[in-house]
Chains A and B, each alone.
Chain A
Amino acid sequence: MRWINSHPGAGARLTLALMPFVLLLLAYMIGSAERLADNPNDKLLPGLVALGDAINRMALVPDVRSGQYLLWSDTVASLGRLFAGLGIATAIALLLGLLIGILPMVRAALSPFVGAISMVPPLALLPILFIVMGLGEASKITLIVIGVTPIMIRDLALKAIELPREMIVKAETLSASSWQIALRVVLPQILPRLITCLRLQLGPAWLFLIAAEAISSDSGLGYRIFLVRRYLSMDVIFPYVIWITLLAVATDLLLDRLRIAVFPWSDLEKGK
């Protein structure tokens, strides 16, 4: 049988899926063990025990100075900023994307502008944000909003424009006004895309969040990573990076489940 036609069974699929993770972990453990054998005080690739100690210290024991469980207080601070940023971005993108998508007048006025704005590198704007808005939460949230909104607007507008013209005409023959077409025909059909778009923007959003936290903050996952970097504390950095990845993966999965639960028809369409 040709290779392109042989599919893994359920068990094989799970094994194959886990394999790269296990291999990565093995490679790390071997590297770590070799370095520790050379120098027991090596900080670059700490062993599993050291990592466990660090996780225990950060997540389960209150910090001596602040009395807080650092991992959790950092997570709350970071997720607060992330979701505030993504929430604002989603609201703006939905409104502008819908308007650009269905109203030719608005499209003519805003589409080139949004296209140009989306090309501005957001990190280059970070100093401006810090100068104008100060070093507080507002500038970090704004960075996320500036970073992800233009792309979301363009994506949603494209999705709305892509809707077959026949559908819009059909709605017109059913007596729909522009408002009703937006509300009952276009909006429900771009909402699933909004969720997918949000999933794709999770990566960039985390990037902007950590960049902002690294430069100026007193809490947050990005702040902690860049703080302990000074002491070469790889035993803290590695668990933090894995934790951030887990948070992002979980958000991604939850958003996809949400789409299927709320818009069951969007999954049916995909199979066609």
Chain B
Amino acid sequence: MSALSIKNLWKEYGDQIVLENVSIEIESRAFVALVGPSGCGKSTFLRMLLGQEVQTKGDILLDGLPLPREPGADRGVVFQRYSVFPHLTVLGNVMLGKELLASRLAGRLFGKARRAVEEEARAMIAAVGLMGSESKYPAQLSGGMQQRLALAQALIMRPKVLLLDEPFGALDPGIRAEIHTLMKRLWHEAPMTVVMVTHDMREAFTLATRVVAFERPRDRPEEKLRYGATITRDIAIWPPRKAGAPSIFRPDRDGPVSSQGQ
């Protein structure tokens, strides 16, 4: 289970109020898209879920327990850039999490333990469509392949929550459509809740079970400092998408995922 519960969340930087009174319940296995104009605090909100920033007031609960105040292995993340490590090969990048978890001192595995992790990593690499690129460095991959790698690297840790910060924003439309298909499949297969920040409405409505809009209700210049953004729309996609199940009414709506009957 991986339900998120956000209660009366405020975020202020000095005098500037960024987010005010944000409350939302995100059920387990949901795929929530956060949309809104630039500077409305949706990325700040995501960073608080991640633990990279700490809220000024309010609570974030994961399965009823308050989130620790720093990032951890229960929450995976893919950023728009810099999500993968340039000094490691594709295989090294995907294995890293498992290696760190198993070997607290050296951060590296050897022999039998390494081979087991390597096998798992290769399966993960194949699942995101990077088979054959195992020994390449990220600089040798295209933008779309790098994001696939970032997904594989995050998902091998089996996070409860996957946080995506405009992960596909820099990709061109064709590549983006391909990676959407992949993203949908991964969400159907892995037992996780996804929260994604995006600028692309089409992306939000194609992937999400729920689209949440952040906006500043008061946006006059003299009000900007003291009034933050909050959730103004919360749209459930209909007919509902359900993780691991095809769409009831139009099985083909969600593309190859549901037509495979998952």
Which residues of A approach B to under 8 Å, CB–CB?
164-167, 169-177, 179-180, 183-185, 188-189, 263-266, 268-269, 271-272
Assess the A173–B82 pair: CB atoms within 8 A: no
Assess the B79–A176 pair: CB atoms within 8 A: no
- Of the candidates B52, B100, B105, B140, the one whose C-beta lies within 8 Å of that of A268 is B140
- Of the candidates B81, B107, B150, B159, the one whose C-beta lies within 8 Å of that of A184 is B107
CA distance A272 to B85 in the complex (A): 15
Assess the A177–B87 pair: CB atoms within 8 A: no
Q: Say if the beta carbon of B153 comes within 8 Å of chain A.
A: yes
Which residues of B approach A to under 8 Å, CB–CB?
50-52, 70-73, 75-77, 79, 81-88, 96-97, 99-101, 104-108, 137-140, 150, 153-154, 157, 159
A179 to chain B, nearest CB (A): 8
Which residues of A have CB within 8 Å of B50? 169, 173
Which residues of A have CB within 8 Å of B107? 176, 179-180, 183-184
Using A167-B85, A176-B100, A184-B100 as known contacts, say yes or no to A264 and B137 having CB atoms under 8 A apart: yes
Which residues of A have CB within 8 Å of B79? 166, 170
B81 to chain A, nearest CB (A): 7
Assess the B137–A268 pair: CB atoms within 8 A: yes
Write the chain A residue with the least CB distance to B47: A169
CA distance A2 to B49 in the complex (A): 54
15 A-B pairs with C-beta separation under 8 A: A169-B71, A170-B84, A170-B85, A170-B154, A172-B71, A173-B72, A174-B101, A175-B100, A176-B107, A180-B107, A185-B85, A264-B137, A265-B137, A268-B137, A269-B139
CA distance A259 to B59 in the complex (A): 48
- Of the candidates B51, B73, B81, the one whose C-beta lies within 8 Å of that of A175 is B73
Assess the A180–B104 pair: CB atoms within 8 A: yes
Assess the B72–A172 pair: CB atoms within 8 A: yes
Which residues of B have CB within 8 Å of A189? 85-87
Which residues of B have CB within 8 Å of A268? 86, 137, 139-140
Assess the A169–B52 pair: CB atoms within 8 A: yes
CA distance A173 to B51 in the complex (A): 10
